[in-house]
Structure 1
Amino acid sequence: MTTTTAPQAPPARPGSPPAYDGTSPFPSPEGPPVPRTGAQRLQMLLTGTIVAFPLLAVVLAGWVLWGRLLGPADLLIAVAFYILTGLGVTAGFHRGLTHRSFTAARPLRLALGVAGSMSFQGDVIGWVATHRRHHAFTDRPGDPHSPFRYGTSLRGQLRGLAHAHVGWLFHRETSTSAPAERYAPDLLADRGLRTVSRAFPALCVLSLALPFAIGWGVGGTLNGALTALLWAGLVRIALLQHVTWSVNSLCHMVGTRPFRTRRHDRATNLWPLALLSFGESWHNLHHADPTCARHGVDRGQLDPTAAAIRLFERLGWATDVRWPVPARLDHCRK
């Protein structure tokens, strides 16, 4: 884990909140806590279901695997859905819609929005709004999921790691801190994306129903349908969720930092996650140059999302792609 000591900030003006020094825990909102409304409690329940339900599949997988092997059909279906939904998040939600690294043709934009929604990571507009807030306040007060929320002591970083990985989804302040009207008005103005956002619950059901149906069609038995549902549905969702959340947590705490980022921004490159995250774990470059369509810019840095965007460009489905510029990269290097 990294521990950064920042210069002392100048004294705050009387009556204003103290300036963040880079090491202290984030200040808590003033005033007594406001009880959650019924709608907020329901949202927390749904969030808990989305997080916990796929994890139960891992336990079920152990029972299913006891004394038998994983079938090749299950593996192929799982890999296909992992790639489909993973690129929906990385190329669609993240590089395309959040950072506008490229302009997707409308059918592609909507298709990526649907694919990303099937990852069980939230509706497209809420996801984009939260991530834009993360970049606006990276690793300082206001960041919804910074692992340094509780300071840079060992205990604070361990607590912050849990918060950045999954705890922020249940935190009263951070789970509702990115209103779409402020952080994603462009998506709210897009009728198609509003429809995709509203369809999130149905798309989650579809994300499980399709593997079940394909498994039944390939195997011709209920057992084949159920094992496909397990591996290509629940286990696939759990793996992709935790890989994505690891970029929020681990990729701000461990790894290399060859590029300069803004003050307090501790984003790192973490190569072991590169393939599973489709290149998202080259996180240090991303925070140094957020609109760049390629995150893995150095030799040997795998970036499957950039390869997909290149394919979209060659097919005429993506334009105005913001590829790395050598002069800009040199300027960003330490």
Structure 2
Amino acid sequence: MTAALKPPPAAPKPILGRRRGTTEQVSVYLFLLIPLAALAAAVPFAWGWGLGWTDIALGFAFFVISGMGVTVGYHRLFTHGSFRAKRGLKIALAVAGGLSAQGSVVDWVADHRRHHAFSDREGDPHSPWLFGTGPIAVMRGFWHAHMGWLFDRDRTNAERFAPDLLEDEDLQRVDRLFPVLTVVTMLLPAALGGLITWSWQGALTAFFWAGIVRVALLHHTTWSVNSICHMLGDRPFRARDRATNVWPLALISFGESWHNTHHADPTSARHGVLRGQVDVSARLIWVFEKLGWATHVRWPTPERIAKLRVRPQD
């Protein structure tokens, strides 16, 4: 009797999925360029009038909520599984991440997992080193890594890079609500500003500062990790790519700029593992763990840190 032949292994799913339609692409341009234009106008706008303590407080609150939604939710929880979250926390973090206007949870995770799979190689969606090392190539690479890649119409194949999220009904619902969350993240600060100051001017300035400018600042904070943190900085840990630690970005990025550490140990819940390295996102995960909302947290051990350190002979 002849043995049954084993079926050939399935071919890997393609890296890219469907291309964005015209309406989607126009939306991308609007939500990338309008906040950028607002950020450019912010200094002369504030010089004459229009920035008050209410705007600053609302802008700070929404920056922290949406920023933590990206760093703790989109990145450490959904992309890397650095911890497990109770259902309520999982949904809240997905919604908070959507308020960043950086893309839906499935698209964001798929892009970032693809980045790790091909980091600084062909296939990486936003490496600054895809065009060479000459001065022109470096400038082109910086633009591409910082925001140029976002204008590409090709989307990362979520079936290959985020199949677990596609099977999660809660995350699928939040993913479909991304356009609504984008509107909410712009209009809710305006509504609160108007109610707090009881004026239309308060609504308008809150819309500008806590809505559009805040989104732009958060965009460029995240994009700086993609660009600057693959070009300049320290590399105290062994990693397969050119990811670096850039300390001036640590506080505003909530610990994401300890990027070399993260690429050396992607599933770790803490990126700032050395003395003096501020990692606000890790501290929030610690709070969630103490409250019982987060479990199975992957904290780095001293042995793990020592194993990954670059030794003088390396």
Q: Same fold (TM over 0.5)?
A: yes
Cα offset, 1:157, TM superposition = 1.4
The equivalent of 1:23 in structure 2 is none
Matching residue's letter, 2:70: V
**2 CA distance for matches of 1:267 and 1:66?**
38
**2 CA distance for matches of 1:266 and 1:96?**
24
1:219-258 equivalent positions in 2, closer than 5 A: 219-258=197-236
1:268 equivalent in alignment to 2:244: yes
1:185 equivalent in alignment to 2:163: yes
SS in 2 for 1:66: helix
1:75 equivalent in alignment to 2:51: no
1:322 equivalent in alignment to 2:303: no
Q: Percent identity?
A: 56
Cα offset, 1:60, TM superposition = 4.2
Matching residue's letter, 1:325: T
**2 CA distance for matches of 1:203 and 1:132?**
23
The equivalent of 2:263 in structure 1 is 287
Matching residue's letter, 1:120: A
The equivalent of 1:156 in structure 2 is 137
Cα offset, 1:276, TM superposition = 0.7
Cα offset, 1:325, TM superposition = 1.0
**2 CA distance for matches of 1:41 and 1:254?**
36
Taking structure 2 as the reference length, the TM-score comes to: 0.91
**1 CA distance for matches of 2:121 and 2:111?**
15
- Unaligned ranges ≥5, structure 2: 1-17
1:252-308 C-alpha deviation (Å, 9 max, x unpaired): 00000000002xx00000011101100000000000000000000011111000011
Cα offset, 1:155, TM superposition = 1.7
CA contact (8 A) 2:50 2:205 kept: no
1:77-156 equivalent positions in 2, closer than 5 A: 77-156=58-137
Cα offset, 1:66, TM superposition = 3.3
**1 CA distance for matches of 2:49 and 2:187?**
24
SS in 1 for 2:204: helix
Matching residue's letter, 2:111: T
The equivalent of 2:285 in structure 1 is 309
**1 CA distance for matches of 2:246 and 2:21?**
35
**2 CA distance for matches of 1:78 and 1:67?**
19
The equivalent of 1:197 in structure 2 is 175
1:148-171 C-alpha deviation (Å, 9 max, x unpaired): 010122221111110000111113
SS in 1 for 2:21: helix
1:72-128 C-alpha deviation (Å, 9 max, x unpaired): 111011000000000000000000000000001111111110010110100000000
Matching residue's letter, 2:300: P
The equivalent of 1:277 in structure 2 is 253
The equivalent of 2:7 in structure 1 is none
Q: How many residues align?
A: 294
Cα offset, 1:59, TM superposition = 4.2
The equivalent of 1:44 in structure 2 is 25
**1 CA distance for matches of 2:209 and 2:89?**
27
Cα offset, 1:69, TM superposition = 6.3
**2 CA distance for matches of 1:128 and 1:191?**
16
CA contact (8 A) 2:39 2:217 kept: no
The equivalent of 1:210 in structure 2 is 188
Matching residue's letter, 1:303: D
The equivalent of 2:36 in structure 1 is 55
SS in 1 for 2:298: coil
The equivalent of 2:309 in structure 1 is 333
The equivalent of 1:171 in structure 2 is 152
Structure 1 stretches of at least 4 aligned residues deviating more than 6 Å after TM superposition: none
Taking structure 1 as the reference length, the TM-score comes to: 0.85
**1 CA distance for matches of 2:146 and 2:279?**
22
**2 CA distance for matches of 1:312 and 1:76?**
24
RMSD: 1.5
**2 CA distance for matches of 1:236 and 1:68?**
18
**2 CA distance for matches of 1:134 and 1:58?**
27
